[in-house]
Amino acid sequence: MPSSVIVIVALGAAIAGFVQGLSGFAFGLVAMSIWVWVIDPQLAAALAVTGALAGQVVAAITVRRGFAIGLLAPFVIGGLAGVPLGAFLLPHLDMHWFKAILGAVLVLWCPAMFLSKDLPRITVGGRVADAAIGLGGGFLGGLGGFTGTLPTLWCTLRGYERDVQRAVIQNFNLSMLAVTLLVYVASGLITRTMLPMIGLVLPAMLVPAVVGARIYVGLSEAAFRRLVLGLLTASGIALLVASVPHLLR
């Protein structure tokens, strides 16, 4: 594999590890927005899931948050149904559609997160709605490790306090990414040829993840929002610009 690809993969892992340590989610979104330019979607998804799972373990150890099983359970139950669906769809995606879908998710999700403070709090739906969001999170997790995208927005719209939200997302991501990795291995989506790249990603993201987790305690939520969501929105726009012309031909 060209050295330039190795550098980009390692850089993407480091940046994504830092963001995940800082926020408790978003490894897949950050890493994939960088990796999708140089490696195929299936390899990128395998790297994203293994890297994100390692980052969640680091976050669970470094930023310990208790959790209420009754609050978390509906998300996990829904997610368990969603992971296999996303993993089944992954091999059937081509590069241009993958870029377009990922770009659209970023462009729609990030501004929604920017505006979430001004949106009305959602109090209806109860555990059924939480499970449906968990289903969507699990599906996106199976598609490439994006487990935290929908649940993070949903918890924000629910009006959960910062630490409660971190606890839900951190534990949901940890459980769903573990299930996703098992599904990937069992279905053959992770192969032996991918192991060297996995061996590159894991050490590249570990130290940044620890640093991000340490900074989380003293970082204002507003500053994090502006920085990370702004970068992700720019990445989504770039992906759409690159993919849409090919899809329109």
Domain boundaries, the chain: 3-244
- Exposure letters 147-167 (e unless 16+ CB within 10 A, then b): bbbbbbbbbbbbebeeebbbb
pLDDT digit string, tens, across residues 216-249: 767 676 776 676 677 778 878 878 887 887 788 7
Res. 83 pLDDT band, cuts 50 70 90: very high
Dihedral sign of CA atoms 212, 112, 165, 152 in order: negative
**What's the confidence (pLDDT) of residue 53?**
92
pLDDT cut 90: percent of the chain above it:
33
Whether pLDDT at 85 is above 90: yes
pLDDT digit string, tens, across residues 171-225: 899 999 999 999 999 999 899 999 999 999 999 999 998 888 788 767 676 776 6
- In sequence order, which ranges of 90-125 are alpha helices (DSSP H)? 95-115
